[in-house]
Amino acid sequence: MRLLISLIFLLSFSFLISCSNCKQTQTGNNNNQNSPAAITQNLSIVEAEVVEVTGSGNDFKVKARIISTVETDAYPSIAVSGEEYILTPNLRTENGKLLYNEINSNLLSLRNLSKGQKFTAEISLDQKTGWLIQRVIK
């Protein structure tokens, strides 16, 4: 009987120690995990064909099919030829007011394009807002 109680006590003690180690191992593994990959700064120079322009005024979007991309040494291109993207012009503002400059003027000219027309631009992917047209290349 004494042997049986000792054996049960020993097994219970081993079980408690092994569970304690499992928790430490799981916690330790969580601390060693890397944070999720972040989207790095990117800039793609693309030639695109307009599929559709929606919206009006300063609030418009261009759905475009990417015809070709150019990757620069400074920024990796993540735009893919043949894919369609919804592009939002990244209009420059100051204190909530639209700036009147060449970049904005060229971006606003995109709202007048029709289906099938082509344009060349610098686009980038923002984690929160999606695809942005940074600049129209003339």
Q: 75 exposed, middle or buried (CB, 10 Å; 0-12, 13-18, 19+)?
A: middle
Chain-centre distance for alpha carbon 117? 27
Question: According to the model, what pLDDT value does residue 23 have?
Answer: 47
What pLDDT was estimated at residue 91? 98
pLDDT of 46 reads: 97
pTM for this structure? 0.69
The confidence score (pLDDT) of residue 92 equals 97
Judge whether 33 and 27 are in contact, CB under 8 Å.
Answer: no
- For residue 6, the model assigns a pLDDT of 62
Q: How many other CB atoms are found less than 10 A from the CB of residue 124?
A: 19
Position 38 scores a pLDDT of: 52
State which residues of the chain have pLDDT below 50: 21, 23-29, 32, 35, 39
State the pLDDT at residue 110: 98
HSE-CB of 125 using CA atoms within 13 angstroms: 14
Closest CA to 48 of 111, 129, 138, 117: 117
pLDDT at position 105: 98
